[in-house]
Structure 1
Amino acid sequence: MRFDLKRSLFVSLAALGFIAAAGTVNAQTASAKTYAHVISNEKMTTLPQNRNVNFTGSNALYNKAGTLKGAKVVASRTTLNKIKNSQSSTNNVRAYQVAVTNRGSVYYKVVTYDGAYRGWIYGGKSVASIAGGVTQYTTFKNQGLSTLTAAQQSATYKIANPGTANNGTTVTYKQPAWTQYKVGRAITDSTPYASSIFKIDQVGTRTRENDQWVHIYDVNNANSPANGWILMSGLTQAQAPVADNAIQINLVDPSNNSTIVKSVTITRSGATKGTNFGYYSNGGWTISQSDLASIQNQIRAALSGTNYSLDSLTTAQIAQIAQTNFGSSTNLVANKIATIADNAVRINLVKPDGTILKYTDWSKSGVAKGSNVGFSASGNTLWSLYSGDQSSMESQINSALSGTNFQLNTNSNTLNSTQMDAIARGTYGGQVYINVVPVSNATSPIVPRLVGASQALKGTDSASLTAPVTVAGPDGKATAINGR
């Protein structure tokens, strides 16, 4: 039998080719099932606040890098989207470890502040910047003191409700609550600091809640353990001791009665501490008219230049003042006024009975909010108005008074020196008060005469008539009145 070497070689090579091809296919199948592996896994060393992140919702959270063998979903994209839009700082997220796979993918290990979710999430292709399923996030915006009024910055405060509650308003915190991972309270009980007096040196808002937090420090102890962050609503303004013969009226914000806008002190010579300022009469508490007028004027003066007013006291507020004991204070709610333009001053026109007739807003271009309307002239105790402003104001005020039966001054439609002083001391963006008077009564032009007589009647102080008088009756006939 002949052995065909050529054919045998062909068959053998073909067989080998098949095997080789099969090997290639098997190699490709094995490669398709190959998982990524981690080539670097390190703890993050950047500043903690720079590792606060938020989910983007574009990637799920896994128990390990998502492309590793055995990776399982810890939280879906839907869940992470809810966390992303949460309005609670407990859902803030901290990244603390970073891994890189052999495919160049970056994964971050993260945890929510409340510990509810922890795992790995895709973070882009570079460790130089956070991307993918997370983004850097600012949990708290520190605003310095820019959002506080000058009065709030200079005021002193107490903790309104000392205790142990972990609610943001009772104790202080090393950082505003839930804005830094595992940074908690400065003190756990504020009761020992109930009498401590604090000032504010920083203020800001949490990003998710948009609530206002302030950093306070004890004015008498720079190293007090209670120094820290607290919600502004957890503070009440501290008050200086009230004199034994005085009462203090605190004018407070209508939306937050712990915020004192201004205070006025009413003193009475010879008053005894602990006695009532007013008196009880006809079934109710009241005060004298002179005290009422004085208090109302002081309140208006105190609120001048602010965005608050209390132009007339209600019966209930008068009773509240009347029952206030000498040596103590009481709070009255002031009213938020309609917005005043930054370049305008509101001129309130006050009637003799102390009530507001109406107001007019006088504006001037090119002026800054908070600047005085007028100026203090050298050697003059009364302030003055700038040239040209007086006539403009008078014209606007007289227009406002038209038809009201009131005028600026008796027999005059011009501002007097006292009125100008009050306006000049005011500030743009605020309000002032000036008094107006009723229009003077004109003399009656009616002249009494006898019917048909050309001479006016002359008066007499006699108790009886000395001559007959004839008057016309309704029917036109003359009737004589005898000497009796």
Structure 2
Amino acid sequence: MNKMLHKSLFIGITALGLFAAAGVASSQTVSAKSKAVKVTKNYATKSAGADRNVIPTGNYAIYTKPGTVKGARMVASKGTLRGLAGSQNSKDYFRAYRVAKTNKGSWYAKVVTFDYKNRGWIYVGKTNPDDDWASVGFGLKHTETTHTAAMPGTTTVKLTNPGITNVLWNAPYRSQYRAEKTIDDTEPYGGENFTVTKSVEMTREGTPYYYIVNQDRPSIRGWIYAGAVIEQVPVPTDPVPNNVVFAKIIDADSGYEVGTPTLTNTNTSLTNAAAFLTTELGNGSTDEAKLGAYAPGYTYSTLSAADKSANYSAIANAAYGSTVTVKARLASKAPADTLVDATLANATK
């Protein structure tokens, strides 16, 4: 009987111990879960895209999730981000596009580089950055990808080399995330006048861009590399001084004007317009003098014999107050007969 009672008491005490242990384990599990970091808010930013251009400070890394959430993996270290922050290439700017808040009151921003190669979440402090991206801190700081630049002396311009190389954009190339072309081929607008309405430079590269509007077709507009246009200086209507020659430099391949300088002779030893013009544009067949100053990148040397002869005659017969037209070709372009000769030579190899 005593053995039976002893056994019953032992089983009862053991059961109570297991129950108590289970209770402690359960309370520890609940406590651990209550301390786990969770995302309580996660939404797409509401601010304008251009307001959300940022660069990393290099003080925090980028993760696949907000950094303190379980399972977050690093995708860009602090060292990598310091390198991107100091980059002189606009492709390395970041755009913030989502924000998240944890149950610990921490805010994170989801960002991506302009070239799409780096993407993830970074810590930005205890306040919502979408309220004021200009004041974002901790892992990020706001940046301006362009700055206002001086307008050209003459706001009426033409395209220097119409085609698919220098086209029109809704923002200067890589000054904004996903900048898009508005006109992807400017060939139909060669020879037409455009008005420059804005001028900026890229902050990192210093590349100049103009916002241009077609004077006859205002819907044709956008940002273009400033080196892809040439100013159109109007010919004065007042009496022309007796030491001025107006010049037109024509692209031999496209027929478009690539230079329209007004040339003023201040050298009294040059007694006639032809002698003066030769010092400014050469004789029309060789590249000495100052052709490059008026039509950068252009040359006479690859012109046909007929074009060289026409240039020579135009310059030799120049008169003050008149307009002299000469042809030139981009140095990077070979004349058609040279291309044919090269094709035939390759075909025989």
* TM-score (norm. length: structure 2): 0.63
Q: Deviations over 1:62-94 (max 9, x none)?
A: 111111111011111122122212222222211
- Residues 1:202 and 2:204 aligned together: no
- Asked if the contact 1:178–1:184 (Cα under 8 Å) also holds between the matched residues in 2, the reply is no
Which amino acid is 2:222 matched to?
G
Change (3 A) 1:318 1:100: closer
Match for residue 401 of structure 1? none
- Asked if the contact 2:41–2:100 (Cα under 8 Å) also holds between the matched residues in 1, the reply is yes
- Asked if the contact 2:199–2:210 (Cα under 8 Å) also holds between the matched residues in 1, the reply is yes
Match of 1:290 among 271, 294, 304: 271
Separation (CA, whole Å) in 2 of partners of 1:72 and 1:259: 57
Separation (CA, whole Å) in 1 of partners of 2:209 and 2:45: 29
Match for residue 227 of structure 2? 233
Separation (CA, whole Å) in 2 of partners of 1:259 and 1:155: 15
- Residues 1:138 and 2:107 aligned together: no
How far residue 55 of structure 1 moved from its aligned partner, in angstroms, is: 1.0
Identity of aligned residues (%): 28
- Residues 1:98 and 2:99 aligned together: yes
1:334-353 equivalences in 2 (<5 Å) = none
SS in 2 for 1:83: helix
Q: Deviations over 1:375-405 (max 9, x none)?
A: xxxxxxxxxxxxxxxxxxxxxxxxxxxxxxx
Change (3 A) 1:134 1:181: same
**Larger Rg, first or second structure (1 or 2):** 1
The structure with the largest helix share of the pair is 2
- Residues 1:83 and 2:84 aligned together: yes
Higher relative contact order, structure no. (Cα contacts within 8 Å, ≥ 6 residues apart): 2
- Residues 1:224 and 2:222 aligned together: no
SS in 1 for 2:32: helix
Separation (CA, whole Å) in 1 of partners of 2:138 and 2:41: 18
SS in 1 for 2:272: helix
- Asked if the contact 2:270–2:276 (Cα under 8 Å) also holds between the matched residues in 1, the reply is no
- Asked if the contact 1:201–1:216 (Cα under 8 Å) also holds between the matched residues in 2, the reply is yes
**Between Structure 1 and Structure 2, how many residues are aligned?**
262
> RMSD of aligned C-alpha atoms?
4.2
Question: 5+ residue gaps in structure 1?
Answer: 2-7, 252-257, 267-287, 300-314, 332-484
Change (3 A) 1:265 1:292: closer
- Asked if the contact 1:153–1:200 (Cα under 8 Å) also holds between the matched residues in 2, the reply is no
Change (3 A) 1:195 1:24: same
Change (3 A) 1:23 1:187: same
Which amino acid is 1:159 matched to?
L
Separation (CA, whole Å) in 2 of partners of 1:45 and 1:81: 27
Q: Deviations over 1:199-254 (max 9, x none)?
A: 21111111121211111112223x232x1111111112336699xxx963479xxx
- Residues 1:156 and 2:156 aligned together: yes
Separation (CA, whole Å) in 1 of partners of 2:312 and 2:121: 67
- Residues 1:178 and 2:174 aligned together: yes
Separation (CA, whole Å) in 2 of partners of 1:155 and 1:247: 22
1:57-456 equivalences in 2 (<5 Å) = 57-127=58-128, 128-129=131-132, 130-143=136-149, 147-148=150-151, 152-165=152-165, 170-221=166-217, 223-225=218-220, 227-238=221-232, 248-249=246-247, 263-264=262-263, 290-291=271-272, 295=276, 316-317=288-289, 324-325=314-315, 328-329=324-325
Change (3 A) 1:201 1:208: same
Separation (CA, whole Å) in 1 of partners of 2:191 and 2:259: 18
Separation (CA, whole Å) in 2 of partners of 1:318 and 1:211: 25
- Asked if the contact 1:63–1:72 (Cα under 8 Å) also holds between the matched residues in 2, the reply is yes
Question: 5+ residue gaps in structure 2?
Answer: 3-8, 237-243, 250-257, 281-286, 292-299, 301-310, 328-349
How far residue 29 of structure 1 moved from its aligned partner, in angstroms, is: 11
- Asked if the contact 1:57–1:133 (Cα under 8 Å) also holds between the matched residues in 2, the reply is yes
Separation (CA, whole Å) in 1 of partners of 2:63 and 2:202: 29
- Asked if the contact 1:35–1:67 (Cα under 8 Å) also holds between the matched residues in 2, the reply is no
Which amino acid is 1:232 matched to?
A
Change (3 A) 1:191 1:94: same
Change (3 A) 1:131 1:324: same
- Asked if the contact 2:155–2:197 (Cα under 8 Å) also holds between the matched residues in 1, the reply is no
- Asked if the contact 2:105–2:126 (Cα under 8 Å) also holds between the matched residues in 1, the reply is yes
- Asked if the contact 1:159–1:194 (Cα under 8 Å) also holds between the matched residues in 2, the reply is yes
